[in-house]
């Protein structure tokens, strides 16, 4: 703790003195500062002016680590983790809070994801080659984002139309029979109309060898992604933008091995398919005398097919074997509206700026599960449907207290209604009204420094445990009747932060220290009776939880040819009063997916005007895989290397990810599944990619 306090003290000092030093060197450098506007903020301020722990990544950050997918990017950010359990990392944790999987029951994520303002929470995404900016919000963001931002939010903005022709084509070849083709082009049709188009295809055999089928592509990647934007500006007061997304993912899923390595024995490998379409209409109207009208109306339709070989083996492996599969067919359709008024100079309340917004959403979730019913000893199916409507109003007020002191206050009031029905005859309706808030005191000793105190409250909806209800009729699972539903969760956050930037951006430093209290925290529970490999999953409420720690981000230009980036985090978590349905007491233990420390160090070394060498080292402490067992991941270090050469419009690069070839666990289960050792319980892990080597070539025009 002394070390943590010393870091905060050093950051305060750095934030105060850095702008002064830079000013002495070159006061004119302020005109050359690159202003990064936070797209997810209500007022779209710069990252250095925004109270709260926030990270921003651009296209350059992707190139530095040769990133091709989101889960390869997340390791760069302090106190951010993810879990897979599918072909890709899909479930995000921020500051130790977030889901790890989704099976029968529809989850409301603790960390949501927006792509161009469209809600992709829980779906995951494919390639991000056309990224313009990626933002990670840490801590409750209910005022801005609502129930999907209990612990944070990921906000991704892709490239849009331009006034002049711009394009880029990228080809990447890598081991494991992998390739990526990506292209973007944007232009203006007339002075009022402009468009952009981005296409991407990723293919890989994956990193699993199936010795039974004698194949090395049972966990393959096959993803196509298309995004189109059409902008229209009929006059200086109005800008409209139509956004269209299409995703076609046909990935295999064969990730878990009885031998607990990258070699599987499955005779019926699974699949992880997604086909989604989305449309959005963005509006920006500046014709009102007192405010600016901004907002978006969006629609998304997604169909998913997720399934796996439950026994992870083949017929004939052992006399005590079993052979079953589990398959989940999901459909999701949503319509979302989010519009706000942002005050202009004429609309200020005295000296105060204000925001007033309304949010409405209608979401329909349908599930058909095909599985083996061990109680009936036959193939069976289960179907459920959930309709959820949300209506919210929110506001935020920025009030100057003095020349250097500003008070930011915000509140959001949200009501949701759920209608649930399933093939077991259950029909349940849930309704609740929740509220979130934020209050921050911002002190700016100079334009490049910010010191803030922040208090915020986030929320997450409750719901129905459909899997528990469906299986409660079985005598062996009668205790699940007490788990028919679960309560909403509330998160309180207190935070102190410091941000400082030199005028010439030779030094950027950001530090945040936080303490969070979770009330009625939602945890995943499982019951495994003696009637075969049948698990009943449900969401339970632990009494409370504590999460506190520190996040640090620094960028230092040590030399005109050398820049260093550093992010680090320290996290301490604690479960409240939590005893599982099996009677195991985990009260007071660390929470799942919450590594105690993590770090990322990267350097850009400009060897010449044309050649650049990038190196990145990332690491995480071990963490528990679940709140319901004691199994942990292994601590790891991840080394990424890249050497690139720029030749006019061309860029050529050779790279390696995970150059040390570490086995990095991204999902873990603990149970018995191997008949060869009498179904003794083991930790079974899914691993991220091993050492990768590839070459990339891009042409920009």
Q: Between the CA of residue 277 and those of 25, 280, 296, 332, 373, what are the distances in Å?
A: 52, 11, 16, 11, 34
The structural domain count of the chain equals: 1
- The confidence score (pLDDT) of residue 171 equals 97
Whole-angstrom distance, CA of residue 670 vs CA of residue 681: 6
Matching residue, tokens 């680090």:
568
| Torsion 348-353-356-357 (CA) sign | positive
What is the Cβ-side half-sphere exposure of residue 292, based on CA atoms within 13 angstroms?
18
Quote the DSSP letter at residue 445. Answer: S
Residues 6+ apart with CB under 8 A from 568: 78, 551, 552, 597, 598, 599, 600
Q: What is the pLDDT of residues 261-290, one digit of tens each?
A: 999 999 999 999 999 999 999 999 999 999
Q: Alpha-carbon distance 396 to 43, whole Å?
A: 10
pLDDT per residue over 193-228, tens digit each?
Answer: 999 999 999 999 999 999 999 999 999 999 999 999
Higher pLDDT, 605 or 65: 605
311, HSE (Cβ side, Cα atoms, 13 Å): 20
Cα torsion 111, 115, 120, 126 to 10°: value is -100
- Alpha carbon distance 360, 190 (integer Å): 34
Please give the angle made by the CA atoms of 402, 137 and 617, to the nearest 5 degrees: 120
pLDDT confidence bin for 14, thresholds 50/70/90: low
Give CA–CA dist 521/526, Å, rounded. 16
Of 235, 312, 36, 4, the closest CA to residue 155 belongs to 36
Q: Where does the pLDDT of residue 495 fall: very low under 50, low under 70, confident under 90, or very high at 90 and above?
A: very high
| Cβ–Cβ < 8 Å for 280, 243 | yes
133, 157 Cβ separation under 8 angstroms: yes
pLDDT beyond 50 at 25: no
- In this structure, how many other beta carbons lie within 10 angstroms of the beta carbon of residue 121? 22
Distance CA 686, CA 672 (A): 16
Contact, 637 vs 619, CB < 8 A? yes
Distance (Å, rounded) from C-alpha 206 to C-alpha 661? 15
Cβ proximity of 269 and 253 under 8 Å? yes
Poorest-pLDDT segment among 157-166, 375-384, 572-581? 572-581
What pLDDT does 154 receive? 96
Three-state secondary structure readout of 257-299: CCCCCCEECCCCCEEEEEEEEEEEEEEEECCCCCEEEEEEEEE
Give the domain extent around 227.
Answer: 2-700
Three-point CA angle 526, 529, 575, nearest 5°: 25
CA distance 266 to 673: 13
Give the three-class secondary structure for 20: helix
Three-class secondary structure of residue 152 per DSSP: strand
Q: Which residue has the tokens 């699949």?
A: 271
According to DSSP H, which parts of 126-216 are helical? Answer: 142-145
Contact between 390 and 359 under an 8 Å Cβ cutoff? The reply is yes
Q: 82-131 pLDDT, tens per residue?
A: 999 889 888 999 999 999 988 888 888 999 999 999 999 988 777 789 99
CA 187: distance to chain centroid? Answer: 31
> Binning pLDDT at 50, 70 and 90, where does residue 561 land?
very high
CB 165 within 8 Å of CB 473:
no
pLDDT score recorded for residue 30: 37
Percentage of the chain exceeding pLDDT 90:
74
Q: Which two tokens stand for residue 570?
A: 């320290």
User: What is the rounded distance in angstroms from the CA atom of residue 494 to the CA atom of residue 505?
Assistant: 29
E strands in 159-220 = 166-174, 178-188, 193-204, 209-210
CATH number of the CATH domain containing 480: 2.40.170.20
Tokens, residue 141 = 């963001």
Residue 345: CA count within 13 A, CB half-sphere: 0
Q: What phi-psi label fits residue 139: left (phi over 0), alpha (psi between -120 and 50 degrees) or beta? A: left
**Three-state DSSP class for residue 125:** coil
Q: How sure is the predictor about 414, in pLDDT bands with cuts at 50, 70 and 90?
A: very high
pLDDT value of residue 23 = 43
Mean pLDDT of the region 284-305 = 97
Least Cα distance to 599 among 76, 72, 52, 137 occurs for 76
Residue 98 gets the label, from left (phi > 0), alpha (psi -120 to 50) or beta, of left
Q: What is the pLDDT of residue 523?
A: 83
Among candidates 341, 334, 358, 329, which has minimal Cα distance to 397? 341
Strand 131-138 relative to strand 54-57, pairing: antiparallel
C-alpha pair distances (Å), 480 with each of 98, 255, 470, 607: 24, 30, 9, 63
Average pLDDT, the chain: 90
Distances (CA, A) of 505 to 18, 498, 614: 10, 16, 20
pLDDT range class, residue 60, cuts 50, 70, 90? confident
Collapse the DSSP code of 336 into the 3-class scheme (helix H, G, I; strand E, B; otherwise coil) and give the result. strand
Residue 13 has pLDDT above 80, yes or no: no
Strands, E assignment, 84-151: 91-94, 111-115, 118-119, 131-138
3-state secondary structure 493-518: EEEEEEEEECCCCCEEEEEEEEEEEE
Q: What is the pLDDT of residue 27?
A: 36
Residue 255 DSSP symbol: -
pLDDT in tens, 610-628: 999 999 999 999 999 998 8
**What's the mean pLDDT in 300-307?**
97
Q: Above 50 in pLDDT, residue 17?
A: yes
What average pLDDT score do residues 556-574 get? 95
Q: What is the pTM of this model?
A: 0.93
> What token pair was written down for 118?
């469209």
């Amino acid at each position: 703790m002394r070390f943590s306090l010393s870091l905060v003290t050093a950051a305060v000092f750095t934030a105060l003195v850095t702008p002064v030093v830079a000013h002495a060197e070159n006061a004119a450098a302020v005109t050359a500062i690159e202003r990064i506007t936070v797209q997810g903020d209500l007022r779209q301020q710069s990252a250095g002016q925004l109270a709260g722990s926030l990270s921003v990544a651009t296209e350059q950050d992707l190139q530095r680590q040769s990133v091709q997918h989101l889960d390869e990017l997340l390791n760069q950010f302090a106190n951010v983790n993810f879990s897979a359990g599918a072909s890709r990392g899909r479930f995000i944790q921020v500051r130790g809070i977030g889901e790890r999987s989704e099976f029968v029951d529809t989850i409301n994520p603790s960390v949501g994801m927006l792509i161009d303002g469209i809600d992709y929470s829980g779906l995951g995404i494919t390639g991000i080659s056309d990224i313009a900016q990626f933002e990670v919000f840490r801590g409750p963001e209910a005022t801005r984002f609502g129930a999907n931002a209990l612990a944070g939010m990921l906000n991704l903005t892709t490239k849009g139309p331009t006034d002049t022709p711009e394009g880029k084509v990228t080809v990447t070849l890598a081991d494991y029979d992998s390739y990526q083709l990506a292209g973007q082009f944007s232009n203006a049709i007339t002075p009022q109309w402009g468009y952009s188009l981005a296409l991407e295809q990723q293919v890989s055999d994956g990193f699993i060898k199936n010795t039974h089928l004698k194949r090395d592509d049972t966990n393959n990647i096959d993803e196509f992604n298309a995004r189109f934007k059409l902008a229209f500006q009929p006059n200086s007061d109005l800008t409209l933008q139509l956004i269209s997304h299409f995703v076609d993912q046909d990935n295999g899923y064969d990730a878990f091995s009885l031998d607990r390595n990258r070699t599987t024995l499955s005779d019926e490998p699974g699949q992880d398919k997604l086909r989604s379409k989305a449309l959005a209409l963005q509006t920006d109207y500046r014709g009102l005398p007192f405010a600016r009208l901004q907002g978006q109306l969006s629609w998304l339709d997604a169909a998913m097919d997720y399934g796996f070989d439950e026994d992870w083996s083949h017929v004939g492996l052992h006399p005590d074997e079993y052979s079953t599969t589990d398959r989940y067919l999901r459909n999701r359709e949503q319509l979302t509206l989010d519009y706000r008024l942002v005050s202009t100079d004429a609309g200020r309340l005295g000296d105060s700026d204000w925001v007033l917004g309304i949010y409405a959403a209608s979401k329909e979730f349908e599930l058909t599960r095909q599985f083996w019913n061990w109680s009936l000893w036959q193939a069976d199916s289960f179907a459920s449907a959930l309709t959820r409507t949300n209506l919210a109003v929110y506001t935020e007020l920025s009030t100057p207290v003095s020349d250097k002191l500003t008070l930011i206050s915000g509140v959001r009031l949200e009501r949701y209604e759920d209608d649930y029905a399933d093939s077991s005859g259950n029909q349940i309706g849930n309704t609740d009204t929740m509220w979130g808030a934020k209050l921050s005191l911002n002190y700016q000793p100079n334009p490049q420094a910010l010191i803030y105190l922040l208090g915020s409250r986030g929320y997450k909806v409750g719901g129905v445990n459909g899997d528990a209800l469906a299986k409660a009729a079985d005598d062996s699972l009668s205790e699940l009747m007490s788990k028919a539903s679960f309560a909403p969760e509330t998160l309180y956050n207190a935070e102190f932060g410091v941000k400082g930037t030199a005028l010439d951006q030779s030094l950027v430093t950001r530090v945040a220290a936080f303490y969070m209290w979770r009330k009625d925290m939602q945890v995943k529970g499982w019951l495994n009776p003696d009637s075969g490999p049948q698990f009943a999953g449900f969401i339970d409420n632990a009494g409370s939880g504590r999460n506190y720690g520190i996040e640090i981000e620094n960028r230092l230009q040590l030399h005109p040819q050398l820049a260093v980036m550093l992010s680090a985090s320290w996290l301490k978590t604690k479960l409240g009063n939590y005893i599982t349905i099996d009677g195991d007491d985990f009260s007071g233990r660390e929470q799942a997916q919450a590594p105690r420390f993590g770090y990322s160090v990267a350097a850009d070394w400009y060897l010449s005007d044309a050649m650049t060498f990038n190196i990145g080292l990332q690491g995480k402490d071990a963490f528990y895989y679940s709140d319901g067992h004691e199994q942990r991941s292994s601590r790891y270090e991840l080394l990424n290397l890249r050497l690139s050469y720029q030749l006019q419009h061309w860029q050529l690069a050779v790279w390696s990810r995970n150059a040390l070839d570490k086995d990095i666990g991204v999902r873990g289960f603990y149970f018995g599944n191997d008949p060869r050792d009498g179904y003794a319980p083991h930790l079974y892990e899914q691993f991220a990619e091993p050492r990768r080597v590839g070459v990339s070539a891009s042409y920009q025009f």
